[in-house]
Structure 1
Amino acid sequence: MPAMAGLLLIAHAPLASALKAVAQHAFADSGVPLQALDVEPDTSFEDIEAQARSLLQRLGVEEALVLTDVFGATPCNVAQRLGDAQRVRVIAGVNVPMLWRALCYAAEPLEALAARAVAGATQGVLQLPMPHNSVS
């Protein structure tokens, strides 16, 4: 059985820390290595990348899934510099269902874990019907 993957959240402040708090609230005993990097607007790209690489190392795992908020934005651009397709996968568009799915399946191979995380994200977005008795 492969070793558990770690998770690194990189997002605009304070989203990464908030997602980490939600993860720890719902899965306090998961044992999944989890780090968060809040990207502040006045931090240089180089400093953000250095912080991300440090957090990736602090996970202490051979494989990691990096979840970031918006494709094309600084957090995602930094995350893409970390990815190598063998040991680090990057997914943009993080949401709570994606994160929870990743926590649940962190022991799966990295490719399967990434697929499950994306499925969790898309399956977790639903337009809910309005109740019949709603008042305008």
Structure 2
Amino acid sequence: MSVGILVISHGNIGSSFIDAAKQMIGQNTLKIKALDANIALDANIESTLDELYAKASLLVKEVDQGDGVLVLTDLFGSTPSNIAHRLYEKNNISVVTGINLPMLIRILSSSRLSLEAITKKAYSGGVDGIKINGTDNGGISEK
């Protein structure tokens, strides 16, 4: 068994990240799906959110292989993130926001980890993948 992965994002960011990661590392053993949360400006936001939550719930069940699901979102506090946190309350999942390509590549290269371990890999992959001028801080002071 292994952890499933669900990416919930604005537009087609999640699908694009998954496609790019698969091109770079090839096939992997983790089950991964994307939910592209497209909301029209004139949509009934409440019913749209309920529909997206229902789709996300189905996708969690689809990718869950018994060891839980890691849900990745693009922006904390946004619709995809809020849907993920609703899922977190009712399922064996972990949520990491701020997806980037290094994060996803590290996850897809790390099969057979526990939910807790793959969550830590996601976080470290995302943070380690951010560089300024090719270094960790590019000489920029954090003060």
Calculate the TM-score normalised by the size of structure 1: 0.86
Q: Contact 1:4/1:32 (CA < 8 Å) preserved in 2?
A: yes
- Please report how far the alpha carbon of residue 16 of structure 1 lies from its aligned counterpart in structure 2 after TM superposition: 1.1
Which segment drifts farther, 26-35 or 89-98?
Answer: 26-35
Cα drift, residue 84 of structure 1 = 4.5
User: Structure 2 vs 1, CA of residues 80 and 97 (structure 1 numbering), >3 Å: closer, same or farther?
Assistant: same
The aligned counterpart of 2:130 is 125
Letter of the 1:108 partner, please give it: L
**Residue correspondence of structure 1 range 66-85 to structure 2 within 5 A:** 66-84=71-89
Identity of aligned residues (%): 31
Question: 2:29·2:111 contact (CA, 8 Å) conserved in 1?
Answer: no
- Deviation track 1:85-118 (CA, whole Å, cap 9, x = no partner) reads 9721000000001111111223111111101110
From 86, 93, 117, give the equivalent of 1:88: 93
Whether the 8 Å CA contact 2:15–2:34 is kept in 1: the answer is yes
1:121–1:80 CA distance, 2 compared to 1 (3 A): same
Bigger mean CA deviation after superposition, 70-79 or 103-112: 103-112
Deviation at 1:28, TM superposition (A): 2.7
1:30 aligns with 2:28: yes
- The alignment covers a number of residue pairs equal to 127
1:78 aligned partner, one-letter code: I
Structure 2 unpaired stretches of 5+: 135-143
Aligned-partner SS, 1:78: helix
Change over 3 Å in CA distance of 1:80–1:106 after alignment to 2: farther
| Alpha-carbon distance in structure 1 between the residues aligned to 2:91 and 2:36 | 25
Amino acid at match of 1:39: A
Aligned Cα RMSD in Å? Answer: 1.7
List per-residue Cα deviations over 1:6-51 (Å, max 9, x = no partner). 1100000110111121122123321210000100022611011011
Measure, in 2, the Cα distance between the counterparts of 1:65 and 1:72.
18
Deviation of the 1:60 alpha carbon: 4.1
Give the aligned residue type for 1:51. K
